[in-house]
Chains A and B, each alone.
Chain A
Amino acid sequence: MAQVEFIQVGKSYGETGAVHNVNLTVDDSEFLVLLGPSGCGKSTLLKMVAGLEDVTAGEIRIDGRVVNYVKPGDRNVAMVFQNYALYPHMTVQENIGFPLKMTKVPKDQIRERVTRTAAILGLDGLLDRRPEQLSGGQRQRVALARSIIREPAVFLMDEPLSNLDAQLRVQTREELLKLHERLQTTTIYVTHDQIEAMTMGHRIVVMRSGVVQQVGRPQDVYDNPANTFVAAFLGSPRINLQTGKLDGATFGGDGFVVPLNSKLAGAASAVTAGSDVALGVRPEDIEVRVGAVEASGDKIALDGVVSLVEPVGSDLYVRAQTGNVDWMARTEARLPVEPGQAVTLVLNLEHAHLFGEDGRNLAS
Chain B
Amino acid sequence: MSDITLTSTEIGAAGQLSLSPEEHKREQRRYLLRRTATAYLFLVPAAVFFIAFLVIPIGFLFFYTFHNGGIISPRVYVGLDNWRNVFRDDLVITSIKNTLVYCLMAIPSVFVISMFLALVLQQATRGGSVFRSVFYLPTLTPYVVAALIWQFVVHRDFGILNMTLVKLGRDPVNWIGDPDMALKSITMLEVWRGVGFWTLLFLAALIGLPKELYQAAAIDGANAWQRFRHLTIPLLRPTIFFAVVMATIWNLQLFDSVSIMTNGGPQNSTATVVWYIQQTTFAYTDKVGFGAALSFTLLMLILVLALIEIRLLRKR
Instruction: Tell me the A residues contacting B by CB distance below 8 Å.
Output: 5, 7-8, 20-21, 23-25, 27, 58-59, 61, 64, 66, 68-69, 203, 205, 208-209, 211-216, 226-229, 357-360
Contact = CB atoms under 8 A, between A and B. Distances in A.
A64 B16 CA distance: 12
A24 B5 CA distance: 12
Interface string B20-37: 000010011011000000
B13 to A, nearest CB: 8
Nearest to B11: A25
25 contacts: A5-B15, A7-B16, A7-B18, A23-B13, A23-B14, A23-B15, A24-B7, A25-B8, A27-B11, A59-B17, A59-B24, A61-B18, A66-B27, A68-B27, A68-B28, A69-B31, A209-B3, A211-B3, A212-B5, A212-B6, A227-B4, A228-B1, A358-B2, A359-B2, A360-B4
A227 B4 CA distance: 8
A215 B5 contact: no
A226 B3 CA distance: 11
Contacts of B2: 358-359
A25 B12 contact: yes
Contact of B7 (A20, A23, A209, A357): A23
Given A68-B28, A69-B31, A59 B18 contact: yes
A25 B28 CA distance: 23
A24 B14 CA distance: 7
Given A59-B24, A68-B27, A25 B4 contact: no
B19 interface: yes
Given A69-B27, A357-B1, 12 more contacts: A7-B16, A7-B17, A20-B5, A24-B11, A59-B19, A68-B27, A209-B3, A211-B4, A215-B6, A216-B10, A226-B4, A228-B1
Contacts of A357: 1
A64 B19 CA distance: 12
Given A68-B24, A68-B28, A226-B6, A8 B1 contact: no
A169 B83 CA distance: 71
Interface residues of B, number: 23
Given A68-B24, A69-B30, A215-B8, A208 B3 contact: yes
B31 A7 contact: no
B194 to A, nearest CB: 34
Nearest to A24: B8
Nearest to B29: A69
A211 B3 CA distance: 7
Shortest Cβ-Cβ A-B pairs, 7 listed: A359-B1, A215-B8, A69-B31, A23-B14, A69-B27, A23-B7, A25-B11
Interface of B: 1-8, 10-19, 24, 27-28, 30-31
The binding surface of chain B is classed by DSSP as loop
Given A66-B19, A227-B1, A7 B8 contact: no
A348 B291 CA distance: 90
Given A68-B27, A68-B28, A69-B31, A21 B5 contact: yes
A23 B8 contact: yes
B15 A7 contact: yes
Nearest to B9: A215
A360 B5 CA distance: 11
A48 B304 CA distance: 43
Contacts of A214: 6
B4 A58 contact: no
Contacts of B16: 7
A48 to B, nearest CB: 13
Nearest to B7: A23
Nearest to B13: A23
Nearest to B12: A25
Contacts of A24: 7-8, 11
Contacts of B1: 227-229, 357-359
B16 to A, nearest CB: 7
Residue among B15, B19, B31 with the highest chain A CB neighbour number at 10 A: B15
A208 B5 CA distance: 10
A360 B3 CA distance: 9
B31 to A, nearest CB: 4
A266 B147 CA distance: 95
B14 A7 contact: yes
A213 B4 CA distance: 6
A227 B5 CA distance: 11
Nearest to A215: B8
Contacts of B7: 23-24, 212, 215
Contacts of A23: 7-8, 13-15
| Residue of B2, B3, B16 with most partner-chain A CB within 10 A | B3
A216 B30 CA distance: 37
